[in-house]
Structure 1
């Protein structure tokens, strides 16, 4: 049985796949090489077909963009909704019992904010696919060195120490968190057998990472 993954070249994903590789074979689906030993490349639309014939136990998505980086809302939705859900459906068809998804703090299918509403809707759609276990990670602002330029997130990282001081207690879930901690938290969750849908915010993610 294999772990299938999308988003392996991103901020969390490129730190996650080496952690998973030591336990099981990790099959990375992507548009460009990630360095993973087992990899299939193609367009996002081709990813579901690349899973045909595979036996998957666990599926992981660290895929994500922003409206600005994608260039339009339609392009953003193609990544964060359609590509993620098509992968999840294909992984479930390939036998996956466990799905792990990097979502966002504040994700809510009923939010007035379009970004948070989309994230919440994707969470609900994944949970409805019939996986035995779903882990939804909802980190705050991700800290780390990105390969692409996201000016708004770069500004956020510059003030991250101040935000960390201000966002305490119940607001901690919105505080900045290092992408490496999210990767370690996901690695700790991979392979867990307890059924159900679990949501993990910053505090839970940090605990898992240690």
Structure 2
């Protein structure tokens, strides 16, 4: 039986994953720190605080697996600094909390194109986040790099609205992927025996594992 910590549970991938965790018999405890409270749900411990780091500090029970599904865009965040805080600092804080609580496996949503040396700001921050987690020397670290995510958001992102039809037609890793498939693949990976060290799952691999 596994005890799970998840951040990003109010987002597109995280929301799907949280519902799957609730229905997974091999998971016996779910802790989901958030910035705004979740709807009351039996089976979820939900410390919440507008400063997610403060909500993470409230978590004291041991965990086995950490899921981080945090992610935004520079436009949504409002500034470069706010984007870095959401997609780098809070992800690292999630990982440090998991390490503090004894977790052996972390799974994190990154992005296709993540590269710490990229000339593109978004991809560079994602790559720097990945490097920071790798430097923590997790016994097992799974980085997932989906293409454009599909699914019902509370607030539709403008670029996704116009680009989604095109990305549905692209081949391989470029082809868009349903958020629920990313969540399904992450859960399967978390609960399956795996080798130690770092694994990177491309969008195509996520789609295959979701089947």
Equivalence map 1:44-193=2 (5 Å): 44-51=52-59, 53-157=60-164, 159=165, 162-165=166-169, 167-168=170-171, 172-193=172-193
Q: TM-score, normalised by structure 1?
A: 0.91
Bigger Cα displacement from structure 2, 20-29 vs 7-16:
20-29
Q: TM-score, normalised by structure 2?
A: 0.90
Match of 1:11 in 2: 12
Match of 2:30 in 1: 26
Once the two structures are superposed, residues 104-147 of structure 1 have per-residue CA deviations (whole angstroms, 9 ceiling, x without a partner) of: 00111111111101101101111111211111010000001111
Tell me the secondary structure at the aligned position of residue 59 of structure 1: strand
Once the two structures are superposed, residues 33-82 of structure 1 have per-residue CA deviations (whole angstroms, 9 ceiling, x without a partner) of: 3345321111223133122x220111110110000001111111110011
CA separation in 2, counterparts of 1:186 and 1:70?
25
Bigger Cα displacement from structure 2, 187-196 vs 106-115:
187-196
Contact 1:7 1:63 in 2 (8 A): yes
Unaligned stretches of 5+ in structure 1?
none
Contact 2:35 2:55 in 1 (8 A): no
Aligned residues: 202
Match of 1:195 in 2: 196
Q: CA deviation at 1:151?
A: 1.2
The runs of at least 4 aligned residues of structure 1 exceeding 4 Å deviation read none
